[in-house]
Structure 1
Amino acid sequence: MTDAPRDPELPRGVALAWGVAANPQRGPKRELSIERIVEAAMEIADAGGLAAVSMASVATSLGFTTMSLYRYVSAKDDLVLLMGEAGFGVPPETVAEADGWRDGLLAWSRAQVDVYRRHPWLLDIPIGGGLPATPNNIAWLDAGLAVLEGTVLDPHERVAVALLVLSHTRWQGTIERSYVAAAAAAGTSPDELDTAAANLLAQLITPEAFPEVHRALLAGAFGPEGGDPFAFGLDRILDGIRQYLDTRPADATVPPPAAPADPPEIEHDPKVREAGKAVREAEKALREARKREREARKAAVSRRA
């Protein structure tokens, strides 16, 4: 008789996140706990980034040996997973209380940006393949999907919309973190950093060489007065979703995505190879000319200074 298939064993970190992992049999006078370990690791990451977190650094901050931690968390990867779970927490009630799907997605996105601002190291946690596997991560996804309930979107489309907004939100968190780090290193503010960068570009960019960038510079598009590009981008994403909702019949079915087309075959014609070589040489010459132009502009700026 064939044995019944066994349920797959949960990874230790996932089991800890769900609270279904076996507790350690031994511990240093029960003064240590998974919660204390994760909290200490998050404090280290908040101060020095995810790279500063190690089992040894966490143990030192708690006043225990590294081996003591391994009785609770068997690997650093499990600790990072639990840090991410605690760092994200649960989505705020403002998402569920929002008026309509658009306000709901706006609240959902803004709440995630706030999380990245509190714990920038969350952006350094690798995104694993497949679905989220821990309770808080699933709660965030569930909250994003819930605001789309009542629309004509089917479950596949709701997931796609949530991922679209999530990708924009994560990119905003990444860029904002870079600005804050660069400003801190320069001893200035992100807005002042923007202004200084725009002033530098204004000395290098000419309307003849880069007409569109020059026009944007004159309009102040690269400075703090240019407004919030992330809010603008998210609004346009939501406009697109609104248009799709307005034009999609409630009973429509979404066709599966088309398979990628095979790349066109290029005949092995000597003329084709010669033309390709000529293009590459022209591109190389253009790059070299632009390099010389940048060097000349840099020298001119140095002389004026």
Structure 2
Amino acid sequence: MTPPYARIAAELRRRITEGELAPGDRVPSTRQVAAQWGVALATATRALAELRREGLVRAESRVGTVVAEPPPALPPASGAAAPPGDRVRVAAPAPRDGDAARRRPGAGAERELTRERVVRAAIEIADAEGLPALSMRGVAARLGVAAMSPYRYVGSKDDLILLMADAAFGELGYPGDAPEGWRERLEIAGRTLWAIFRRHPWLAQLSPLGRPLALPGLTVHADWALAALDGLGLDPATVLDVHILLYSHVQGLAINLEREAQIAAATGLSEEQWMDVQGPALSAIARSGRYPAFAKVIGGLGEDGYDFRLDDLFELGMRLLLDGVTCLVERSRASGRD
């Protein structure tokens, strides 16, 4: 019997080759495939990985899996003009003795495989499809190697996720000549973390605040923030509190990046489309008279309405947080003078 992943890949392949899905169109996500065909996420991941291996689809960050552009037509080998619209295929030369072994599928990729390549391939999958879509088999398919090959470099999926997080957090660092003001330094820390979470939204899902990850790549950000707060007269516990509040502000907003992508994939609705669906219900609540403050704010928005932007909320939160720390530092210095 044909395995389920192959049947799914065959159906999606048919949709692509027959033009039902055009280049750039989104292919059903891993979760959508799993729900539509009634299979496990691992099976859905393997089906999409098969299409990626064939070059029919590609992963696009924060969009998902989309149909790849077809390769350009090759020129006629004989110099004769090709029929309009036809793609010319050039026959491969007959293999020489020993070529079969050297051209074995994945043989070159196996020789070039490293831990860094395994980690980078896993990050690309998580960036495009979310952490639930990640599997060791999917990483192997993306790299074009045997299913068990990544285990030579990474012991388990949990180990792989930690390596991914360490690498992702380590992508951005800090300037060697730090600003003198603590506020500027904390602001740099917040913006650097936000940029990393923007690149890799799945990072926000890994660990709650009370269970910090012991990763060198993440500790770099903590060390910068703690150094910014050094010498301000705050006790060590308060310094840690401020650092955790800064991190939680960034992480708390970033959680919504991944959740929004998951909900959009599951429902097929963008944020704007979702609000269009919910609009009548929200208007009814505002007109009910039971929530006057809510009705006043909603009515005051006018025809332009409200644009929900996480980047704007990040900026506002940073200003309020840093203003609060300013008051805390001034109060600590004032009590020290008394």
Give 1:187 deviation, angstroms. Answer: 5.5
Q: Deviations over 1:274-305 (max 9, x none)?
A: xxxxxxxxxxxxxxxxxxxxxxxxxxxxxxxx
Deviates more, 1:117-126 or 1:136-145: 117-126
Paired with 1:98 and 1:122, the residues of 2 have a C-alpha distance of 28
CA separation of 1:125 and 1:97: change in aligned 2, threshold 3 A: same
CA separation of 1:135 and 1:251: change in aligned 2, threshold 3 A: farther
Paired with 1:49 and 1:29, the residues of 2 have a C-alpha distance of 26
Secondary structure (helix, strand or coil) at the match of 1:110 reads helix
Question: Residue 139 of structure 2 aligns with which residue?
Answer: 58
Matches within 5 A, 1:30-69: 30-69=111-150
Q: Does 1:238 align with 2:319?
A: no
**Amino acid corresponding to residue 66 of structure 1 in structure 2:** A
Give 1:68 deviation, angstroms. Answer: 2.0
CA separation of 1:144 and 1:52: change in aligned 2, threshold 3 A: same
Structure 1 vs Structure 2 CA RMSD: 3.2
Give 1:76 deviation, angstroms. Answer: 0.8
Paired with 1:108 and 1:199, the residues of 2 have a C-alpha distance of 41
Give 1:213 deviation, angstroms. Answer: 0.6
Give 1:229 deviation, angstroms. Answer: 3.6
Paired with 1:226 and 1:169, the residues of 2 have a C-alpha distance of 14
Deviates more, 1:119-128 or 1:161-170: 119-128
Query: How high is the sequence identity, in percent, across the aligned residues?
Result: 33
- Contact (CA 8 Å) 2:172, 2:196: kept in 1 or not? no
Give 1:206 deviation, angstroms. Answer: 2.0
* Unaligned stretches of 5+ residues in structure 2: 1-108
Moved over 6 A (4+): none
Deviates more, 1:220-229 or 1:59-68: 220-229
CA separation of 1:194 and 1:242: change in aligned 2, threshold 3 A: farther
Give 1:177 deviation, angstroms. Answer: 4.0
**Amino acid corresponding to residue 231 of structure 1 in structure 2:** E
- Contact (CA 8 Å) 1:59, 1:65: kept in 2 or not? yes
- Contact (CA 8 Å) 1:42, 1:83: kept in 2 or not? yes
Q: Does 1:107 align with 2:180?
A: no
* Unaligned stretches of 5+ residues in structure 1: 1-27, 253-305
Question: Residue 166 of structure 1 aligns with which residue?
Answer: 247
- Contact (CA 8 Å) 1:95, 1:105: kept in 2 or not? no
Alignment TM-score, normalising by the size of structure 2: 0.57
Alignment TM-score, normalising by the size of structure 1: 0.63
- Contact (CA 8 Å) 2:209, 2:244: kept in 1 or not? no
- Contact (CA 8 Å) 2:110, 2:149: kept in 1 or not? no
Aligned length: 224
Question: Residue 117 of structure 1 aligns with which residue?
Answer: 198
Q: Deviations over 1:63-97 (max 9, x none)?
A: 22232222211111000000111112254335963
**Amino acid corresponding to residue 88 of structure 1 in structure 2:** F
Paired with 2:146 and 2:309, the residues of 1 have a C-alpha distance of 52
Q: Deviations over 1:205-258 (max 9, x none)?
A: 126211011011022297128993443233222222111111114886xxxxxx
- Contact (CA 8 Å) 1:109, 1:165: kept in 2 or not? yes
Q: Does 1:224 align with 2:294?
A: no
Structure with more of its chain in helix, by fraction: 1
Give 1:191 deviation, angstroms. Answer: 6.4
Paired with 1:192 and 1:220, the residues of 2 have a C-alpha distance of 19
